[in-house]
A and B are shown apart, each in its own frame.
Chain A
Amino acid sequence: MDSEHSFGSDDETDIARVRSGDVDAFEGLIDRHKQHVARVISRNVPPAQVEELAHETFVAAYTSLPSYRPTHPFEHWLTRIALRACSEFWRREYRDRDRRSVTLEEAPPAASVADEESQRELLAWALDQLELENRQVITLVYFEDLSVKEAAELLGWSQAKVKVRTFRARKLLREILERALPELRNES
């Protein structure tokens, strides 16, 4: 997980000020952590959604500030809120979709994986082929490096379900990628 910004007295001071009614002190928290939040969200949703979800994340952080405990770094706590916002975004996205079973009727976005941009597009396309629960769990556990316990708390699942789903989702994702681009398999 990224940890470019240090946490500590500045965050705690601003949090204490906000809790005592000084709303402007929240700007300090935004300034220190907005790029971290943008990075987390950018990894998980289309670029057009980043600003809105970052906005949602900070407003949710503000209203949830009384529940924050300094036993954990503020940035980690904020990351959970950002990931929850991403998860909610995909839940909304999938709600009205008539999810098809995994087929490759739609072509993958790039014919090769020569550069990182193409790789990211291919991965986004492959994730889009997954059902919502598979997508959520593999994103949190495998891509965001959350522990099984943390993912279970975030998703409201049992830890056993997270483990089983992660294994299944990763296997499915690999199959999708290999079928889309056989050269990926040949290279390994």
Chain B
Amino acid sequence: MNDSREPEERLAAARRNAPALELSDSWKAGVMQSVREQPVPVVSPSYFEHSVRRAAMAAAVLALLAIGFCVSAGIGATNELYMLVSSAPESLLELALVF
């Protein structure tokens, strides 16, 4: 035999051809029993959904801070906004919820 492959390469080929054990129905029944003991796997929000939610939350907080700054400094805010907030401070909360 004149095989130019390295020793581990030759043995790896035999390893890939290793026969696999046949898994029986009783084995499957055991797995299903274990599976039934587990809580039902619930799909959690994806990373993207988490990211969008986080970004929305951050935007809402920033908007709230900006409005607060404008109102307190008396600059930049529209008269309507100033009047709204000064007449009904609780509306600021509603505004934040809208955001």
Binding site for B on A (CB under 8 A): 18-19, 21, 23-24, 26-27, 30-31, 34-35, 38-39, 41-43, 47, 50-51, 54-55, 58-59, 62-67, 69, 113, 116, 119-120, 122-123, 126, 142-143, 170, 173-174, 177-178, 181, 184-185, 187-188
Q: Are A38 and B18 in contact (CB under 8 A)?
A: no
Q: Are A63 and B18 in contact (CB under 8 A)?
A: no
Q: How far is the CA of A158 from the CA of B12 in the complex (A)?
A: 25
B42 at the interface (CB under 8 A from A): yes
Q: Are B34 and A27 in contact (CB under 8 A)?
A: no
Nearest residue (CB) in B for A64 is B41
Out of A42, A58, A187, which one reaches B21, CB within 8 Å?
Answer: A42
Q: Are B31 and A58 in contact (CB under 8 A)?
A: yes
B14 at the interface (CB under 8 A from A): yes
Q: Whole-angstrom distance from the CB of B15 to the nearest CB of chain A? A: 6
Main secondary structure of the interface of B (DSSP, over half): loop
Q: Are A51 and B18 in contact (CB under 8 A)?
A: no
Number of interface residues of B (CB under 8 A): 37
Out of B4, B7, B11, B27, which one reaches A54, CB within 8 Å?
Answer: B27
B73 at the interface (CB under 8 A from A): no
User: What does the 1/0 interface line of B39-51 toward A look like (CB < 8 Å)?
Assistant: 1111110100000
- Chain B residues with CB under 8 A of A119: 10-11, 14-15
Beyond A19-B43, A26-B35, A34-B28, whether A184 also contacts B18 by CB under 8 A is no
B20 at the interface (CB under 8 A from A): yes
